Chains A and B, each alone.
Chain A
Amino acid sequence: MSFLPIVGRLAVMTTLSAFVAHTAHAKKPDKDADILGTWTLTKVLDPADIASLTDQQAAALVGTVLIVRRDGVVINGEPCRAPELTRRRHDAAKYVREGYHARVGGLGLPDIVTVIDLDCTEAFFKEREKIVVFWQGYFYDAVRQPQAKR
Chain B
Amino acid sequence: MVRLQKLQQDQFDALVSLTYNAGVHGTGNVYSLVDTGRLAETARQIRTMASARVNGQSVVARGLISRRAEESAPFDAAAKSAAMAKK
17 A-B pairs whose Cβ atoms sit less than 8 Å apart in the complex: A49-B22, A49-B53, A50-B21, A50-B51, A51-B58, A54-B58, A54-B59, A55-B58, A99-B25, A100-B23, A100-B25, A101-B22, A102-B26, A122-B25, A122-B28, A134-B26, A137-B26
Known: A134-B26, A137-B51. A52 touches B45 (CB 8 A): yes
With a cutoff of 8 Å between Cβ atoms, the chain B residues found around residue A99 in the complex are 23-26
Contact A49 B52 (CB under 8 A): yes
Q: How many A-B residue pairs have CB under 8 A?
A: 74
With a cutoff of 8 Å between Cβ atoms, the chain B residues found around residue A145 in the complex are none
Q: Does B64 count as interface, using CB distance less than 8 angstroms?
A: yes
With a cutoff of 8 Å between Cβ atoms, the chain B residues found around residue A54 in the complex are 51, 58-60
Query: Chain B, interface size: which category?
Result: 20 to 34
Q: Does B48 count as interface, using CB distance less than 8 angstroms?
A: yes
With a cutoff of 8 Å between Cβ atoms, the chain B residues found around residue A119 in the complex are 32
Q: Does B66 count as interface, using CB distance less than 8 angstroms?
A: no
Contact B36 A81 (CB under 8 A): yes
Count, chain A residues at interface, CB 8 A: 25
Q: State A119–B35 Cα separation when bound (angstroms).
A: 11
Contact B25 A52 (CB under 8 A): no
Given contacts A50-B26, A102-B23, 9 further A-B contacts (CB under 8 A): A48-B26, A49-B22, A50-B22, A51-B52, A53-B58, A98-B24, A100-B23, A100-B26, A122-B28
With a cutoff of 8 Å between Cβ atoms, the chain B residues found around residue A137 in the complex are 22, 26, 49, 51
Closest to B24 in A: A99
Q: Does B29 count as interface, using CB distance less than 8 angstroms?
A: yes
| Chain A proximity mask over B1-44: 1 for CB below 8 Å, otherwise 0 | 00000000000000000000111111011001101100000000
